[in-house]
Amino acid sequence: MNKFLNKALQGKVCTISDVEEAKAVLRLIPIWATSLGYAIVFAQTSTFFTKQGATLDRTIFPGFEIPAASLQFFIGLAIVFFIPVYDRIFVPIARAITTKPFGITMLQRIGTGMLLSIICMVVAALVEIKRLKTAKEYGLVDMPDVTIPMSVWWLLPQYVLSGIADVFTIVGLQEFFYDQVPSELRSVGLALYHSILGVGNFLSSFLVSVIEKVTGGDGKGSWFADNLNQAHLDYFYWLLAGISAVAFTAYLYFAKSYIYNRPSTI
């Protein structure tokens, strides 16, 4: 790609500034692509996490039941709580260890969030296994409208992990794509950042459609059956954990390559 851009320079089709700006944007593509693994996990918080919560005992205190969709509140709460912890505790400790002004680099911040998202999917899978087991023990497998005698607080860890992962990855991605492009292309950098979440949601929907077609035909039990007690969200969460792990491994490789080619505070 660099040779192609250099030829454009030699042919006087573009200026040196144009070519350097193009190279700066193209260098971001591997980071953008590997971040999609995180974005697919990010999409689950407003979909299947909510479906899980709708089947559980959501009583907070006698006479009050929290709506399943409101469980996303805990993500926001985790973000609000953890940001001061990150700024006032984590960064000073990391700064003392690494001697870097921000404690850890932007790429390290993104990678940490990606790792936390993998852990989040593992926890979500284990909780779903517990939920399915409880439904079976109480003979509720064929009763989708009956509340499973399992507290909704079991879902709290995956919501909290998702929120903490956002503090690292979402903020890190925004900073990275804004900082690593020329000032004239800052809007392009932010567009790349936002497109990660948009494409991630699309890929999540596409993945669900493919799995539904494969597992829902020929009388097989769909992973996403309308009766969630007969579904297998745990399989889906394990799959997402695997996809995220592959994306994280690729991210580490490309992040190292990026730093080697462009050393800075990243």
Q: What is the CATH number of the domain that holds 111?
A: 1.20.1250.20
pTM for the full model? 0.88
pLDDT for the residue 12: 57
- Structural domain includes residue 30: yes
The answer to whether residue 266 sits within a structural domain is no
- What average pLDDT score do residues 32-37 get? 94
Nearest one of 263, 254, 208 to 235, comparing CA atoms: 208
H/E run at residue 50: helix 48-54
Residue 229 lies inside a defined structural domain of this protein: yes
Domain that holds residue 149: 2-7+14-57+66-261
What is residue 263's predicted lDDT score, i.e. its pLDDT? 46
Is the dihedral angle over the CA atoms 173, 176, 178, 182 positive or is it negative? negative
pLDDT at 130: 96
d(CA 167, CA 116) in angstroms, rounded, equals 11
User: 180: helix, coil or strand?
Assistant: coil
- What does the block give as tokens for 185? 């292309």
CA distance 86 to 116: 15
What is the count of structural domains for the chain? 1
pLDDT at 4: 52
Would residue 166 count as lying in a domain?
yes
The band of 159, judged by pLDDT with boundaries at 50, 70 and 90, is: very high
User: Can you give the pLDDT at residue 158?
Assistant: 95
CA distances from 156 to 179, 222, 236, 253, 259 (A): 34, 26, 19, 32, 36
Check residue 186 and give its pLDDT: 85
The count of other CB atoms within 10 Å of the CB of residue 122 is: 18
Q: CA–CA separation, 129 vs 123, rounded Å? A: 10
Domain assignment present for 255: yes
